[in-house]
Chain A
Amino acid sequence: MVPLRVRSWYSLLRGTSSPASLCRRARRFGYRRLALTDRNTLAGLWPFLRACEREEVSPLIGAELTDGTDRGQVVVALVKDDQGYRNLCRLITRVKAGEGLDLATDPALSAGSVLLTGDPERLAGLHDAGIDVAADLGNRPTETGSRLRRRARELGVVAVATPDSDLGGEDERPVRDVLQAIGSGTILGRHQAPAAAPLEAPQSYRQRFAVWPEVLSATEALAERCSFTGPRFGVVMPPWHGDGTVSGAQELRAQAYCGACRRYGDDLSEAVVERLEYELKIICQMGFASYFLVVRDIVRSPAEEAAERRRICGRGSGAASLVAYCLGITNVCPIRYNLYFERFLNPGRSDPPDIDVDFAWDERDALLERVFTRYGSHAAMVCNHVCFQPRLAIRETARAWGLPAGEIARLTKRLPWFYRHDQDDLEEQLSGLPTLRDQDFSGPWPDIIRLANRLIGLPRYLSVHPGGVVITPQPVSDYVPVERAAKGVPIIQWEKDGAEQAGLVKIDLLGNRSLGVIRDAVAALRANGTTLVEDNWQPEDDEATRAAIGRGETMGCFYIESPAMRLLQRKAGSGDFEQVVIQSSIIRPAANEFVREYVRRLHGGTWQPLHPALEAVLDETFGLMVYQEDVSRVAVALAGFSHAEADGLRKILSKKDRRRRLLDYHRRFYDGCRRRGLDETDIERIWAMMMSFDGYSFCKPHSASYARVSFQAAWLKTHAPAEFMAAVISNQGGYYSTFAYVSEAKRLGLQVDPPDVSLSGYHWTGRERRIRVGLQTVRDLSRETADGIVAARRVMPFSGMADFLERVRPADDEISSLIDGGAVDSLAPGANRSVLHWQAAACSGLRSAAPGRLFAPAPAAAPPLPPPAAVEQLRREYRALGFLCHCHPLSLVNGVAARGLVKIDALARCVGRTIEVAGWLLTGKMVATKAGETMEFLTFEDETGLVETTFFPQTYERCAHLLAAQRPYRLRGLVESDYGAVSLTVDRVEPLRR
């Protein structure tokens, strides 16, 4: 018996088992072969092939195909050869596009596959069309099966047994019930789930089909015919089609030299020429010339935009390539900053590297649209398999249990946003979370959490990868099924690891908000009359900018604005480009002790290299491993790894399933080091440092490329703070809230003008020492109405409130927020906001009473209403805008004026003392100590400054449930200073009443 019809959890919300556990189960049952036939998808192909290899089970590739919808009639296609695989990809693509599945009219699409069907009529139809078809009798003999078997005999077609399974075992049935309830949008007791079967042992099928003994042998024979065990494309490069007169390599050389002259002047130095020649040789030798040219074509602004320079930022290892720099794909000179090309491409590298480029976030969609227009069906985006994470699993399970949304949100909102599940017992883990200290875990919650725990890791849906695009010589659907994502773009069914394993080379085109910030700030600067020649712009060399970075005044600056980064900059006290590159790489989740060591060594502390052999390797970074490539370089230098092996180790450190795969590297590294005479303690120390790259880390080219953007941002903040802060808030998506950026603007001495329908644009604007709130910030105001306000104003300025209401016609909630935010104050000088609300309501009443009238009658005058109390007015302004333009909300809080509270800007004078301070909570970062306890670093502010605080586990345990962003607190703690960076170690916290 060969299981020919098995669904994994990639049959979304249907199957419950991973391909890996199905393979394990198959092996345990003694199956030699196993088919994976997920419904309308090959998303699980690569995990399945990997698992089959591991379990030594031979794979059969296939899929269930339905008539247009997921619930239509099902045909199973099992692939016999390469052609069958291509056809299967095309068929799935057609099904996903909603096209019919009329296989009988186009038999060519079934070539290379054998189809299984359980419908006698369809069986006859497919057979008559000359398609290789078999009757699918299911997992037990039934009366329907008996009729089908008779019909198959009449047609001379084989009949086979299939497990038709969704479960890895009986114990997965409750998981399946929840998935079905989630899928059908109902609750558990209400949904009648269709029956689901597990994958059973061969003897079960043998016993059941003993009445039809020929069926099992026919099943084996059919499986024998399906010898296809996975696609082998080799490396699939994006095709470059020139004009046919020159090859890709020739064109690349010409373009690279042309770009080099543009970057360095016509007289190229020996170093540039030597490096270019070296890179070109390797690129052409490895067949990457067309790849570079395609990326260049994508990045290059089209003719109509040529006047406006497209802001880009090369990320990843591609930024180490001089050729890329000369082609305009990246923006840092690899020679000046000593970037290591081999990290990107080297002759020993077997897997294709990818070039990643950032674009301004709001330009990326148009760019992708152009790619799809140009390459048509030859381009698609890579997908993400979005899996259930604890928060989603708990939410969905609780909804299936029928718990009210508010009750679910009370729990899920208090899970840290980055919370990941890494223990077996979710219930225990949750009850240990300090933020959930007062959570009621009674009632059905234990059941919900237990089941949610089993959902974690199951794929929920496919989403679009943030930027990965594949461009292929043949239509993409010849390699992998393509479907449309919710946002309309075509996506392949594999995520980036799958695409990489298949050999599809991807190009990452990512959106970056900070490039939009710099673009807008530079444009505003120019519009305000300042000249900035960008070709000569070297912000890294600007003294004022470096000093500001050295003081950690980088809130709003890309990549270097987080509290941890700002603290490190203050400790380092150096705003040098080289140090910023190191700093932005060294801050990683598991590298705290190295950060401390870096600061010590930077300030002249003595140090010894990890090993004499590493002296030259890590000299630039004070003997510390900072960049990803340092892992590879150390492995080569100490353990004798080849470059390819060392690169493999580096890559595995960033993979999800690294633990098991690291074991082999661990053994080889230890053996290599021992052979070179290192003692065990040193090896352990070095391996531990390597493991600090676990999770995420960066390579030097990436950090240098980003540091360049950081410096541009810091320069703008230093020299054009109004334009810069306006651009930061307008582009949104920074590390902090708008509230925090407004406070920062005030600290920079800028005046914050409230929104005004007569003056504000959709975005914020800055000029000289003032910034004007944009209409985008007004709560409930739609983009359409905001644009309508700006357009109506352009035609003719508003003459008053009635004119504004008549011409703009905002919805009730929109005008209410505009009034509360102070945006219409200028239309009725002297009128209070109560009267404005009355006028708006009267106008709205008249409009709804006479909806068809072209001109609404003028409303009667408003009665004399009392103005709102000052505090109430501010409270509403805060609700409408999320901040206050003219004061800090902390100044309105009871008890802040109490004696004994220290202002934050005075903390530097209180080092070593325990003090009390009132602070507004901005943001926090939760971390785990070595002992596994939770603690948090939180940033508070008052009207005078920001303070970074530390809540050690004991304090955190006691008061985590009291902490919520955008609220005022009274804190007591010890003021500490580390290399001049002041922080507060809190021991008591008390919420202040607003």
Chain B
Amino acid sequence: MSRERAVIHLNVADFAVSVERVVDRSLCRWPVVVAPPAAARSVVYDMSDEAYEDGVRKNMPLRQAQRLCRRARILPPRPDLYRRAMHALVAEARGYSPRLEHGAEDGHLFLDLTGTYRLHGAAPDVGWRLRKQVRARLGIDPIWSLAGNKLVAKVASRLVKPTGEYIVGGGEESSFLAPLSVLLLPGLAEQEVCRLQHFNIDRIGQLAALSRGQLLSVFGCRGEVLFQLSRGVDNDEVRAEGERSPAIEREWVFADDVCDQRLLAGVVAGLAVRLGMELRAARLVTRRLVLQICYSDGIRVVRQACRKSGTADDFLLRRLAEQALERACRRRTRVRSCRLLCDRLQHQSPQLRLFADPSEPSERRGRLVQALDGVRRRFGVDAVRFGSQPSLA
């Protein structure tokens, strides 16, 4: 007997603001904008619904946001706090299903409850319970929606923002989507939206009325995706943590965007050092560093640098990061943030090398890195830094 799929999408609207309001209840009385306040060119990181109503948007210059919403309380972003809150949110949900997929610190998670009826009861009950539990323990009121797949659950939660819940029964996907705007469908490219406007198709139902052949004829291979989307068909599984390829990442957001290449290189080196510490703590090595640069105009560039053999050595990681930076920083625009990720992880091998390899760190350097780790554990990561590497504390 096939079991009916049940996927809950839990979403904390304006996650950073919600977390800040938990920490300081008095903020509930005011519109809140999260952005580095001291910087001249800072942009909005997150905002409350009231500020959104006044026209404030993410990545908008803070000064413009302040003009639009003069009453807003401006708070500096605290990514560590949001990361901890996200972990707490995930921890609340983890008890209901191992199939749990979540973002970094964005307040979104999918929970696949298929086959958990005997353990936890009906899926809607789990939704209610989870919401109550999160409200009680974390003080945050999340939106939740329940549907047969991630696509429909996500569309449903977009409908109830900023608070509420939505349950789409099995087999009701098409009728649920039909009257909704096509703009609610996730993953539509700008060009596809434009083409749909040309065809005067603005409801998902109109799109669903088109045959697969018709959609393929005008959208090419993307026609199949639109065909499935318009009918609420989504076979994408909720991927548990173990099913995703392991990676470690760190991000740095500049309060003021920067054009100083040396500063940028210093920050990237600092991120590499942090990744190195985490790798060594987990006795892992990496074979690839991926650097994502986010420019001031919102354009993101991703470049990578690889090695044949894995490493967790700070000096080599820094060199890889510099290579990736050299490849990524070609545009004539200031940089707003950079994210460094290492993947293709392997466990450290205890096997010593028979012959010395000049490209590999020497034993002596290994001891130096160990000593540095000791200092950093005791006095903080930035206690010992490369020259020109700024403190990221």
Contacts and interface: CB of A to CB of B under 8 A. Distances in A.
A440 B65 CA distance: 12
Contact of A402 (B64, B219, B334): B334
Contacts of B260: 189
Given A189-B262, A402-B333, A865 B201 contact: yes
Contacts of A443: 40-41, 256
Interface string B239-273: 00000000000000000111111111000000000
A242 B353 CA distance: 92
Interface stretch (A535-543, A834-842, A947-955): A834-842
A841 B41 CA distance: 43
Interface in A418-468: 438, 440, 442-444
Given A859-B217, A860-B213, A187 B332 contact: yes
A592 B295 CA distance: 50
A866 B200 contact: yes
Interface stretch (A162-170, A243-251, A843-851, A901-909): A843-851
Contacts of A816: 198
Contact of B297 (A405, A438, A867, A872): A405
Nearest to A834: B200
B326 to A, nearest CB: 11
B375 to A, nearest CB: 30
B200 A868 contact: yes
B332 A402 contact: yes
A399 interface: yes
B199 A402 contact: no
Interface string B34-64: 0000001100000000000000000001011
Nearest to B335: A402
A189 B297 contact: no
Contact of B296 (A403, A845, A848, A867): A403
Contact of B217 (A403, A404, A440, A860): A860
Interface residues of B, number: 37
B329 A837 contact: no
Instruction: Tell me if B's interface is mostly helix, strand, loop or mixed.
Output: mixed
B218 A845 contact: yes
Contacts of B258: 189
Contacts of B199: 834, 837-838, 841, 865
B195 interface: yes
A189 B329 CA distance: 12
Contacts of A440: 61, 63-64
B366 interface: no
Q: In which size bucket is the chain A interface? A: 35 or more
B198 A190 contact: no
Given A404-B333, A442-B63, A863 B220 contact: no
B40 A841 contact: no
A186 B217 CA distance: 44
A838 B199 CA distance: 6
B392 interface: no
A625 to B, nearest CB: 50
A156 interface: no
B210 interface: yes
Contact of B332 (A399, A848, A860): A399
Contacts of A189: 258-264
Contacts of A859: 217
Contacts of B362: none
A404 B218 contact: no
A185 interface: yes
Contacts of B263: 189
Contacts of A407: 296-297
A706 interface: no
B198 A837 contact: yes
B116 interface: no
Contacts of B201: 865
Contacts of A404: 295-297, 333-334
A403 B63 CA distance: 16
B214 interface: yes
A846 B198 CA distance: 19
B232 to A, nearest CB: 20
A190 to B, nearest CB: 4
Contacts of A402: 257, 259, 296, 332-335
Interface string B82-120: 000000000000000000000000000000000000000
Interface string A840-880: 01100110110000000001100101111000100000000
B237 to A, nearest CB: 31
Interface in A809-831: 816, 819
A715 interface: no
Interface in B199-247: 199-201, 209-210, 213-214, 216-220
A865 B200 contact: yes
A58 B15 CA distance: 73
A881 interface: no
A762 interface: no
Contacts of B40: 442-444
A863 B198 contact: no
Given A404-B297, A834-B200, A863 B261 contact: no
A863 B259 contact: no
A442 B41 CA distance: 8
Interface in B356-374: none
Contacts of B219: 845
B256 A842 contact: no
A866 B210 CA distance: 13
Contact of A842 (B64, B209, B217, B333): B217
B64 A838 contact: no
Interface in B290-330: 295-297, 329
28 contacts: A189-B258, A189-B263, A189-B264, A190-B259, A399-B332, A402-B257, A402-B332, A402-B335, A403-B296, A404-B295, A404-B296, A405-B333, A440-B61, A442-B40, A442-B41, A443-B256, A834-B198, A837-B198, A842-B217, A842-B218, A845-B216, A845-B218, A845-B219, A860-B214, A860-B217, A863-B210, A865-B200, A867-B200
Given A189-B261, A190-B329, 10 more contacts: A185-B332, A186-B332, A187-B259, A189-B263, A190-B261, A407-B296, A443-B40, A834-B200, A838-B199, A863-B210
Interface of A: 185-190, 399-407, 438, 440, 442-444, 816, 819, 834, 837-838, 841-842, 845-846, 848-849, 859-860, 863, 865-868, 872
